[in-house]
Amino acid sequence: MKERSRTNGWCSISIISFSLIILSHWAHTPRVAGQQPPQQPKTAEQAFKNIQVIKSMPAGQLQNAMSFMAASLGVDCSHCHTPPAMEKDDKPAKQMARRMLSMVTEINKNFETPIVNCATCHRGRTKPVGIPPLPSLSSPFVANAALANPGALPAVDEILERYLRALGGAQALDKITTRTRKGSVDVSSAHGSFELYEAVPNKSLLLGSMPPPLGSVQQGFDGSNGWVKNQNGVFDMSGDGRVQAERESAFYGDIYLKDQFKTMSVTGRELLDGRELYVVEGTRPDGQVERLFFEVQSGLLIRRQWQTATYFGGLPRATDFDDYRKVGNVRLPFLIRKARGGNIFLQTISEYKLNVKIDDSKFKKPAAQK
């Protein structure tokens, strides 16, 4: 059997993720031999323009902190900012956000550890609701609830083996060494298109096109190094951005799941949007805990869910797989949803091609434009 990558990544890299990668690039500049030891990491105030409240926050944490705030209110960056001039103060929402941050800071002074943040009151809304909610009329179940009587649970190996069979079996899956896909992508109110090229064991190239001001972007990983090309130039990935790109470029990453975790256990059975799912919890070698949701009826992987630590608290992230269809001898998802901070990236795939010839040069970093 072919060597399998031990990282996560059937799903493609998010078209907007280049913003995180560029911020990561600024915060992780390599030290040249002979230079003096690195100084203390810069604060947000030192690294970015017009930071007035969270001045002492480490600069490297700013992107995740902003994503946490966006997710808490159910908005994207443009709710408070005017991209690409993020430092401008021309939106009232930005002034309100500063007042809220000051309020939260003052409240948390009363506790040994911070327990209040944006999500405490907003819960995905721009305006907090001051009264208790009524129960849903459409269903007696909450959106994601553990079943009261789940019955006997299968073992981890049984769930994973059934998943492989549902995809077409290990023998058919191992015969695939390259994969291309194309389709449309929706981010908030923006609609665009994408193409993704992938090759074993962990090479990928994403070509995305979105309306201004996002524009076009290329994002690649050649097996060792990652890069981004957009209207601002060509950039090497580093830090968290590079780690994310390597993980999401793993060709078999969402197929051979057991290779990725130190420990795995079946934690229960839950109901999500009317679908019964087995829940498997896994711990990665780096300590990251992830929850995997497999549909009881089909055996297919429906969701991967985890949290990213931020300055304000844990930020939930998820990748959903849906609309599985037969492509050759295997089944692949034609709908992929990614929850990344306050944004939902919806990929609707129109076409897959398997085992097409892709030259290795396609994944190499392009030369910078002069």
162-216 per-position pLDDT tens digit: 999 999 999 999 999 999 999 999 987 789 999 999 999 999 999 999 888 778 9
Of the listed ranges 128-132, 136-140, 242-246, the least confidently predicted one is: 136-140
Tell whether 146 is covered by a domain: yes
Using alpha carbons only, what angle is made at residue 19 by residues 18 and 21, rounded to the nearest 5 degrees?
Answer: 60
**Per the structure, how many domains does the chain have?**
1
Tell whether 34 is covered by a domain: no
Using alpha carbons only, what angle is made at residue 180 by residues 176 and 182, rounded to the nearest 5 degrees?
Answer: 150
Can you tell me the distance from the alpha carbon of 332 to that of 195, in angstroms, rounded to the nearest whole number? 16
Tell whether 324 is covered by a domain: yes
- Name residue, tokens 């034609």: 334
Q: Residues 290, 363, 321, 165: is their CA dihedral positive or negative?
A: negative
pLDDT for residue 113: 78
Domain that holds residue 290: 1-28+42-131+141-370
In the chain, where does DSSP find H-type helix?
18-27, 44-47, 62-73, 92-108, 118-122, 156-167, 170-174, 239-248
Closest to 276 measured CA to CA, from 141, 133, 86, 117 = 141
Can you tell me the distance from the alpha carbon of 81 to that of 93, in angstroms, rounded to the nearest whole number? 8
pLDDT digit string, tens, across residues 346-362: 999 999 999 999 999 99
Q: What share of the chain has pLDDT > 70, as a percent?
A: 83
Task: Look at residue 4 and tell me whether its pLDDT is greater than 70.
Answer: no
Tell whether 33 is covered by a domain: no
Q: Are strands 301-309 and 289-295 parallel, antiparallel or unpaired?
A: antiparallel
3-state helix, strand, coil in the chain (%, to 5): 25, 35, 45
Average pLDDT, the chain: 83
Q: How is residue 159 written in tokens?
A: 């769930």
Can you tell me the distance from the alpha carbon of 187 to that of 348, in angstroms, rounded to the nearest whole number? 12
pLDDT for residue 29: 35
- Tell me if 274 sits within 8 A of 28, measured CB to CB: no
Can you tell me the distance from the alpha carbon of 41 to that of 54, in angstroms, rounded to the nearest whole number? 15
pLDDT digit string, tens, across residues 33-76: 344 555 678 888 888 888 888 888 888 888 888 878 887 887 87
pTM: 0.77
Residues whose CB is less than 8 angstroms from the CB of residue 314 and which lie 6 or more positions away in sequence, other chains included: 307, 308
Three-class SS of residue 357? Answer: coil
Partners of 362 in beta bridges: none
Q: How is residue 302 written in tokens?
A: 């429906």
- Tell me if 51 sits within 8 A of 180, measured CB to CB: no
Can you tell me the distance from the alpha carbon of 182 to that of 196, in angstroms, rounded to the nearest whole number? 6
* CB burial string 157-192: b at 16+ within 10 A, e below: eebbbbbbebbbeeeebeebebbbbbbebebeeeeb
Tell whether 233 is covered by a domain: yes
Q: How confident is the model at residue 94 (pLDDT cuts 50, 70, 90)?
A: confident
pLDDT for residue 358: 97
Tell whether 153 is covered by a domain: yes
- Tell me if 194 sits within 8 A of 183, measured CB to CB: yes
Q: How is residue 96 written in tokens?
A: 């309100």
Partners of 317 in beta bridges: 306
Mean of the pLDDT values across residues 278-301?
A: 96
Tell me the CATH number at 283.
2.50.20.10
Three-class SS of residue 26? Answer: helix
Q: How is residue 209 written in tokens?
A: 């096109």
Task: Look at residue 103 and tell me whether its pLDDT is greater than 80.
Answer: yes
Tell whether 234 is covered by a domain: yes
- Crossing angle of helices 239-248 and 18-27, in 10° steps, is 140
Task: Look at residue 1 and tell me whether its pLDDT is greater than 60.
Answer: no
Q: Pick the more confident residue, 370 or 249.
A: 249
Partners of 62 in beta bridges: none
Q: How confident is the model at residue 145 (pLDDT cuts 50, 70, 90)?
A: low
Tell whether 136 is covered by a domain: no
